[in-house]
Chains A and B, each alone.
Chain A
Amino acid sequence: MNGTAMSAGVSASEEIIVSHIPPGALSRRTLLMGATALAGLPLLSSLARGQDKIDMRIAWWGSDDRHQKTLKIIDLFEAEHPGLTMESQYGGLIGYQDKLSTEFAGGNAPDIMQVSDSRESLIKSGRLLELDDYIKSGELNLSDANTSVLETLKVDGKLYSIPWGLASGCYFIDTKVFADSRVEEPGLDWNWDGFAEKAKAIAAATPDGVYGAADIWAPAGTRSFYPFEFFLRGRGKTAYTPEGKLNFTADELTEWFTFWDELRKAGVVPPAEITALETGFETSPIVTGRAAMYPINSSIASSLQALAPNPLKVLSFPSGVGSTALSGDKYGAFINSSMQVYVNAASEHKDVAIQFLNFVTNSPDAAKIHLMARGVPLSSKIAALVSPDVSPIERSMVDMIQYVQEHAVPEVVSWPVQGGQIQDLMQRSHQEIAFGQSDIAGTVSKFFDEAEFILE
């Protein structure tokens, strides 16, 4: 708009000037007019392009399967928006958040992104766009979404992200090892007693070097904190208070460490040296054939299956209901916030970013490409649409997510900013016990000391 007004203004003043020029200088007038037109043309055309031409950036992490599907979805979205160029920034999880946070600090963060660790501090400092207005206005259509899941994702009652796929902490089990060991596959309603029993049976039936289950602190897996939180929620508690302090006792932590230590000593889960070898789920014991059960986030189902030698199945996390070990009377697992997509609050094209969020949530075409690369689709309509196309592993994932949604205790207290560090601390504590560097009592008291230092 600015450009047109300016060039019109210029030619009007030229008109005044040239009217004082004698007739003989007409050629000069034409020249001036021509020059003005020439000067104005590129301005106008660049303006026209400027209105349509939009450059945006999007960031996510994952494995190759997810990258390829996401790139295709972006192509499709670009095709629907002429002039839009979406630059993709993707790679593995290690280093992802470091880069993203640095970009935020430098003021050049992507327009649309997944956030792996520090969503709380990003929200607190106002870097992520609040979505409620766009949902109200209908620009972001969540009418087919499970609203109870959205409730659990809110921070201080506001929604900042939508799940690009629903996921939860889960167990992957190797169906071939179960069948070969003549151990019956557990059901979604299994509990910790059942878990220990199955793991022991498999360890007994398989040759040395093959274990019933991976250890709970599996480096790429759950790092033990999510499962521990599930256990606490089973007792009607939460891991943190709303003020961001630890909300569990030394007894509960001792119980948790003891459960795993006993399995380790019995040779049911691998010794520390084997667990420490894992650098990503690519080198996890369920891929290398060393364990029949592996705990990790369900969102990697199709990627993990692609690497594993045998057919896998997704199971929910064992609960404490009816269990003597790690008992609890409620179902503790819940849909987690790992595969969320956010919009940068400083984006110059928020409306387009919202359109993209709406696109990945509701577009059947996008869903047909994406399938379940990030978990079960948020929209029940879309989930039903793609179900016939998905692989067996993903079908078992749908069942698991449905089970968790039906049984989970609603209340979720989001982690404090330092949640990731507490998760690391939990993992190191398990290591100290597993490597025999410290006994359980010593580790528990050290855990609380260090946690206090971290949460200060």
Chain B
Amino acid sequence: MTPSPTPTSTDALPPPKTSLAKARPRGRNILSENAWGFLFLAPWIIGMVFFMAGPTLVSFYLSFTSFNLLEPPEWIAAKNYVRLFTQDGRYLSALRVTFTYVALAVPLNLAFALALAMVLNAKIKGLGIYRATYYIPSLLGGSVAIAILWRQVFGFDGIVSQALAVFGIQGSSWVSSPSQALWTLIILHVWQFGSPMIIFLAGLKQIPVELYEAASVDGAGPWRKFWMITVPMLTPVIFFNLILQIINSFQAFTPAFIVSGGSGGPLDSTLFYTLYLYLQGFANFRMGYASAMAWVLLVIIGVLTALAFLSSRYWVHYDDSAK
């Protein structure tokens, strides 16, 4: 999983200092160029090694230990992993909640973003203002303040209940009902459609107008044009958004933490994977167990992303093949 920042060919070469003395023009040039490159990359590489790769490797080690932060870790081999899948009922319900969330929130979010991008792709006056306005929820969406607001909106006397009451529907408290609480989080995610929308918008602009014109001449209606031209031409962008959204929603944490008051409740109905991981690590001080959970999550996301890539050759169309 670790990206390798350096081309492998340079690894075998001697360090730049010695080669500077020798007069081998071409090799020297490449090397000194690389040396400068590494120098400029140094802050990033050092940060990567010490703040990313190091802790990541340590967490892999910790996942085989019992570690409560205060006493030294104790090696227990694969016990954490065995425990996760055979003994921990809450872990399985966290998996269920997370998969449900991803399966519903990601397609809804993408559909919504695409719909809005289509609307904003039209030639209307003051389009820039609309675009900026629709992007605002994405800037706010991940924040604590919005999660608190969400609790109020979907609470017992919240706006949603009041609005439903106008139509004679008996409102309930969405956030505190085990069957509905997850939906409030899905809606919150869908509401943050801004960044996929912007990417879709860019994709839509790339579709040649001639295609639509030709289709119009042939008598195709808007629905047919959408399915036969827009969607196929947009598949690379859809694919890109899909991957980003899958990774993003598996790692969702803040909304569930705030909306459920840090517990994943009511009745574990909003116990997201990362929230349960956090509770095990920082509330129950089972750092080893939490590390094991993190690595399983990495594998899950990795497998799903790989599947998406494998499937992509059947449904994603790149324009270059036509040329």
Interface positions of A (Cβ within 8 A of B): 94-95, 97-98, 101-102, 104-105, 117-118, 121-122, 124-125, 127, 219, 272-280, 417-418, 420-421, 424, 428, 431-432, 435, 437, 450, 453
- How far is it, in angstroms, between the C-alpha of A219 and the C-alpha of B151 when the chains are bound? 15
- B contacts, CB < 8 Å to A: 68-71, 87-89, 151, 155-156, 172-173, 175-178, 261-263, 265-268, 282-285
Given contacts A105-B70, A277-B155, A277-B173, 14 further A-B contacts (CB under 8 A): A102-B69, A121-B70, A122-B70, A125-B71, A219-B261, A274-B173, A276-B173, A276-B265, A277-B175, A277-B176, A280-B261, A424-B263, A435-B267, A437-B267
Which residue of chain A has the shortest Cβ distance to B258 in the bound complex?
A: A279
Q: Could you tell me the distance in whole angstroms from the C-beta of B116 to the nearest C-beta in chain A?
A: 32
25 sampled A-B residue pairs with Cβ under 8 A: A94-B261, A98-B282, A98-B283, A105-B70, A121-B68, A121-B70, A121-B285, A124-B70, A125-B71, A127-B70, A219-B261, A272-B176, A272-B266, A273-B176, A273-B177, A274-B173, A276-B177, A276-B265, A417-B68, A418-B284, A421-B284, A424-B263, A428-B267, A431-B266, A450-B89
Give the 8 A-B CB pairs with smallest separation, nearest first. Answer: A276-B176, A98-B282, A105-B69, A125-B70, A276-B266, A279-B261, A277-B176, A273-B176
Bound-state CA distance A226–B106 (Å) is 42
Query: Given the known A-B contacts A95-B262, A121-B68, are A274 and B156 also in contact in the complex, defined by CB atoms under 8 Å?
Result: yes
Q: Are A101 and B267 in contact (CB under 8 A)?
A: no
Residue of B nearest to A101 (CB): B69
Taken together as a complex, chains A and B put the C-alpha atoms of A417 and B87 apart, in Å, by 20
Residues of A within 8 A of B173 (CB): 273-274, 276-277
Name B174's closest neighbour in chain A (CB-CB): A273
A64 to chain B, nearest CB (A): 17
The distance in angstroms between the C-alpha atoms of A435 and B268, with both chains bound, is 12
- What is the CB-to-nearest-CB distance from A219 to chain B, in angstroms, rounded to a whole number? 6
The answer to whether B69 and A420 have CB atoms under 8 Å apart is: no
- Inter-chain CA distance A104–B173, complex, in Å, is 40
Which residues from B are CB-within-8-Å of A117? 283
Q: Inside 8 A of B265's CB, which chain A residues have their CB? A: 219, 276, 428, 431
Residues of B within 8 A of A104 (CB): 69-70
Q: Give the chain B neighbours of A453 by CB distance below 8 A.
A: 87-88
Q: Contact between B156 and A279 (Cβ–Cβ < 8 Å)?
A: no
A99 and B71 alpha carbons, distance in the complex (Å): 17
Smallest Cβ-Cβ distance to B176: which chain A residue: A276
Task: Find chain B residues with CB under 8 A from A122 CB.
Answer: 70
Contacts of B282 in A (CB 8 A): 98, 101-102
